[in-house]
Amino acid sequence: MKIVTWNINGVKARLGNLLVWLKDSTPDIVCLQEIKSVDDQFPRAEIEALGYHVETHGQKGFNGVAILSKIRFDEVHRGLPGDDGDEQARFIEGVFSTDKGVLRVVSLYLPNGNPIDTEKFPYKLSWMARLEKWAKERLVLEEPLILAGDYNVIPEPIDARNPDAWLGDALFQPESRRGFRRLLNLGFTDAIRAVTDAPDIYTFWDYQAGAWQKNNGIRIDFLLMSPEATNRFSSASIEKHVRAWEKPSDHVPVVAELVLEPIQA
C-alpha cells in the first residue's frame, strides 16, 4: 500500500499537476495539506473520476487538509481535539479496513509559528502538545497509524541545506524540535530516516532566491509510523521531480510503502 503526504499549496492552483501525478504515481492514500479551499468548492469530481474517495477539512483562503483514498473510508474525524476554540482546519483522520485490521491515517498541517515573538509561536507549541496527547491515546489501540503531513519543523541540522539561516525561525527553534522529538519518542518511526541517514534530502524549496536550482531546501514533511505500521513498512522515498514541473508547489510528495492489503466493502 502506497501512502503519500503532499503539501499542495492550493489545490485549485495545482489541480493539473495533482491529476497528472495521481495517474503517474498511483498512490493508494494521499494526504494533502494547504488545500486552501472550503469543502464544497474542493475539486472532488475530477479526483473521484480517477477512482479516489475524497474527504476534506477545508477553510477559505488558507490551511485546509484532505485525504484521497482508493479504499473506502470506514470513519472520518475532523479537527485536532483539545481546544474547542481552535477554528483552523489542520487535521483530518481516516480509518480504513485492511487484511491486518484497522489502518488509521492522519493528514496534518502543523502551524508555522512565525514570527516567534507573536502569539503564533505559542499556538504552534500548544498545537504540538495537543497532537502528542492525541497520539498517546491512539497508540493505546495498538493499530497501524500514520501521521502524515507538513510539520513545519526542521528536526536536525542535517535536514536543512543551510541550518544557520533558520536559527531565528520557528521551524528550527529548540522548543519546536523538542516537541517533534517527544512525538517520535512515543514510538513513532520517521519513514525516510528509516531507509537513509544521508544529507541533502529535502521536501521543501522556497520559491525565492533560486532555492530549487541551488538545492537550498529543508525537510519538513514527514510520514511518522506507529510500531504496528513500522512492522508492515517496506520502503520510503521522496518524489523530488515534481518540484521541477510548471507552477509547482514548493513542497514535494513523500512516500511510504506498507505491506497491507485493503478490504473493500
Lowest mean pLDDT among 34-38, 97-101, 216-220: 97-101
DSSP-based three-state secondary structure for 225: strand
Distance CA 143, CA 163 (A): 36
Catalytic residue among 28, 52, 57, 109: 109
- Over 70: is that where the pLDDT of 210 sits? yes
* Segments making up each domain of the chain, as ranges: 2-258
Binding site membership: which residues? Answer: 7, 34, 150, 152, 250-251
pLDDT at 160: 98
Task: Tell me the residue type at 47.
Answer: I
- Over 60: is that where the pLDDT of 130 sits? yes
Percentage of the chain modeled with pLDDT above 90 = 96
- Are 81 and 130 in contact by the 8 Å Cβ rule? The answer is yes
Catalytic residue among 28, 53, 202, 251: 251
Over residues 190-218, mean pLDDT: 97
- Are 236 and 191 in contact by the 8 Å Cβ rule? The answer is yes
Buried/exposed 18-27: b ≥16 CB within 10 Å, e otherwise: beebbeeeeb
- Over 70: is that where the pLDDT of 251 sits? yes
- Over 70: is that where the pLDDT of 176 sits? yes
pLDDT at 165: 96
* Segment (H or E) for 57: strand 53-57
* Beta-bridge partner residues of 233: 258
251 is catalytic: yes
151 is catalytic: no
Closest CA to 147 of 188, 112, 176, 178: 188
Alpha helix positions (H), the chain: 15-25, 44-48, 120-139, 174-184, 227-230
- Are 210 and 163 in contact by the 8 Å Cβ rule? The answer is no
- Are 127 and 150 in contact by the 8 Å Cβ rule? The answer is no
- Over 90: is that where the pLDDT of 265 sits? no
* Segment (H or E) for 78: strand 75-78
241 is catalytic: no
Instruction: Determine the CATH number of domain 2-258.
Output: 3.60.10.10
pLDDT at 117: 97
Binding site membership for Mg(2+): which residues? Answer: 7, 34, 150, 152, 250-251
Over residues 221-236, mean pLDDT: 98
pLDDT, mean over the chain? 97
| Per-residue confidence band for 264, with pLDDT thresholds at 50, 70 and 90 | low
pLDDT at 67: 98
Distance CA 244, CA 28 (A): 23
Over residues 16-34, mean pLDDT: 98
Catalytic residue among 28, 52, 53, 150: 150
